[in-house]
Structure formats: structure tokens, C-alpha cells
Amino acid sequence: MLKLSILDQSRVRRGMKARQALVETVSLAREADKLGFTRFWVSEHHDTPGLVGSAPEVLIAAIAAQTASIRVGSGGVLISHYSPYKIAETFRVLEGLYPGRIDLGIGRAPGGMPLASMALRYGKPANSEDRYLESLHDLGGFLGAGFPEDHRYHGLLTTPLVDTSPDVWLLGSTGHSARRAAELGARFSFAHFINGDGGQDVVRSYRENYRSGALGSEAQAGVCVMVVCAETDELAEQMALPLDVGLLLLEKLGSRTPFPTAEEAAAYKPDDFDRQRMADNRKRMIVGGPAKVKQRLLDFAADYGVDELMVTLALDSYEANLQACRLLAREFGLPGAAAFTG
């Protein structure tokens, strides 16, 4: 049976406060745990008022404290801004508190505009490719792989000295992070919700070239896709319109542009270029009623050759996102779906 997980970006919808977005993320995670989803990941963005998840480590702790069995993780921590040692110790604390439930997803993107990146680095130079690769190697050493005697960090302890480590995933929307994941032994998740083209070849190459390394010893691949699921195909299409227009405006106006309401999206008048971009963006999502979405997700997973999919939801209300989770859980027979009768 296909396993289902969730990536939540803690989106601030029009008219709501940032605090409410955080509350809704934790609440949705509690519901996902009850329904039987496999993982719940949170993202990292900076200088972006519409996405409030700027500190995934903190959200992970809050979510894990209020859930029982679902794995909780980052999608992902942006390693270019931080010390690998600090990341390792932070996630060892999380692993010590919630053993066997923590995923450390690592992203390579800046997660914001250049000014935010400069502030996060606080005077450090921007990461080169060599520095990125060095950071990944060091992260693996700090998490348990260790260092040779001539390494500058040989003998340094990564505390707390817990007896398990978080699973490490590299995240990416191109083949770059997949190659690094294969070289270093990490798990890999392809961001189809960002790039709807070519991901199948990227995942295939990851599997073909995988070898154990500093970041792990098990090849595991996943894919994340946007999903709009409602009671009927027609309702799902209506609910997808704000997402269609929102992604378009994000491209045209930048990351500080709020997603439109359903009324604003319906009033938007796209030109020919807009319609083409909206059609292209539909390759990044699956839209429909429960039966249609289930079949498309099964076909999608088979096309990628994976047994787990992560969905990201960006509907116009918390209730709509929760209903989508419930419909997916019921359609796929997740263990907690029997309690949902709506």
C-alpha cells in the first residue's frame, strides 16, 4: 500500500494573523497523526510574510510534543546558512526527545531574497559548491559517521549522546541534490511541487548511483506534489483556482505577494501568457475528487517508482485542508480513517 505524508508550509491566508498559521500547522499535524499519515514535514522560508515557518526546528518540537507516532521533520533546513555542528546537535536533541520519529531534511536553496541570506550568514561568505559538499560531509560526521584522526573535528562530541540519529534526507527539484544524496548515502525527496518536469529520471538516477556514505546506508526516495482534493471533481477544480492564480502572481510579483481569496481568483482576468503559465503549473499538482486523486497518485507513484508520496496542500481554508487529508486517508485506507465518517 502506498504510504502518504504531508509537507505543510505554514501559509498565511488573506486576512489571518501569522500566529494562527502556526496554530493551524500544529493542529493539522495532530489530525494527520490520528489519520495515520507517515510523516509531517515543515518548511523553512525567510522574509516571506505569507509563509511563517522560519524556524522548522522549533515547529518540529511543538508538533512532536503533540503527536504520538507520526514522523516529524524538516522540509528542509537550509544548510548553506548554518553550522553543520549546530544542525547536528539541534536534531540530536529532537531525536533524544522523540526517538525514532525525527527526519532531518536538508535543502540547498536560500529560502528567501539576498538580503535575508546575508542576514542569516551574518558576514560569512556565500556557500560555494565545495563548501556545500564539505558541510554535508561534516554533518554526517557530527551525526555519527565520525572523522579520521587528521580531521580538524576529530574527537569533537555531538551532544546529547543519544543512541539513535534522525534519518537524513536531501531535498531538491533538480538532479543536483539527488547526485549528492546518492554519493553520501542520504535519502532523497524530489520536489515535484516546485518542478513538474524530469523528476522521474532524477529519482531513477539516484537509485542507480546510490552507495552508503556519511549520511546513511539505505536508498529511499520520495516525491512531494501539490494536491487539491475535495468531495467532487467539480468542487476540486473550483478550489484549485486560487492556487492557480496564486502561483502565477508569485512568479510575476515575488514572494511577498499574498495568495488570492477565492473571490479575488475568480475576478482575475488572465491573458494568453497567464493561461499558458497556469497550464504549466498544473503539472506540479493533482486535482480532483477522492477517486480521481487516488488513481492519479497511484499512477504518479508508479511512474516515479516510489512507495511513499508527500502531499502539500494550499487550499483556501484550514477546514478545506483538513477535509482533503481526511478524504485521502479514507480513500487509501489509512489506519485512522475509520474514525472519520464525514
pLDDT tens readout for residues 9-52: 999 988 899 999 999 999 999 999 999 999 999 999 999 988 99
Q: Round to whole Å and give the CA distance between 155 and 201.
A: 40
The string of DSSP codes covering 37-101 is -SEEEE---SS-TTB--S-HHHHHHHHHHT-SSSEEEES-EEGGGS-HHHHHHHHHHHHHHSTT-
Mean pLDDT estimate for the chain: 94
Q: What is the mean pLDDT of residues 330-338?
A: 93
Q: What is the mean pLDDT of residues 231-237?
A: 97
DSSP assignment letter at 114: H
Fold of 3-229+286-339: TIM Barrel (3.20.20)
Closest CA to 187 of 55, 74, 47, 281: 74
Enumerate the domain spans of the chain. Answer: 3-229+286-339
- pLDDT tens sequence across 131-149: 899 999 999 999 999 999 9
Q: Round to whole Å and give the CA distance between 2 and 227.
A: 15
Query: What nine digits make up the cell of 214?
Result: 556519511
Query: What nine digits make up the cell of 217?
Result: 546506508
- pLDDT tens sequence across 60-89: 999 999 999 999 999 999 999 999 999 999
Contacts 24+ apart (CB under 8 A), 296-304: 297/2, 297/4, 297/225, 297/227, 298/2, 300/223, 300/225, 301/2, 301/223, 303/200, 304/190, 304/199, 304/200, 304/203, 304/221, 304/223
Residue 130 has pLDDT above 90, yes or no: no
Closest CA to 145 of 128, 127, 129, 168: 168
What pLDDT score was predicted for residue 235?
97
Q: Round to whole Å and give the CA distance between 316 and 258.
A: 12
pLDDT band at 160 (very low <50, low <70, confident <90, very high): very high
Percent of the chain residues past pLDDT 70, beyond the cut = 99
Q: What is the mean pLDDT of residues 277-295?
A: 97
Q: Round to whole Å and give the CA distance between 1 and 308.
A: 9
**Burial of 316: CB neighbours in 10 Å, binned 0-12, 13-18, 19+:** buried
Judged by phi (left if over 0) then psi (alpha if -120 to 50, else beta), residue 289 lies in beta
What pLDDT score was predicted for residue 342?
54
Contact 260, 199 (CB under 8 A): no
Burial profile 199-211: b = 16 or more Cβ within 10 angstroms, e = fewer: bbebbeebeeebe
Q: Round to whole Å and give the CA distance between 252 and 260.
A: 14
Using a cut of 0.85, tell me whether the model's pTM lies above it: yes
Neighbours of 83 (CB within 10 A): 15
Q: Round to whole Å and give the CA distance between 222 and 307.
A: 8
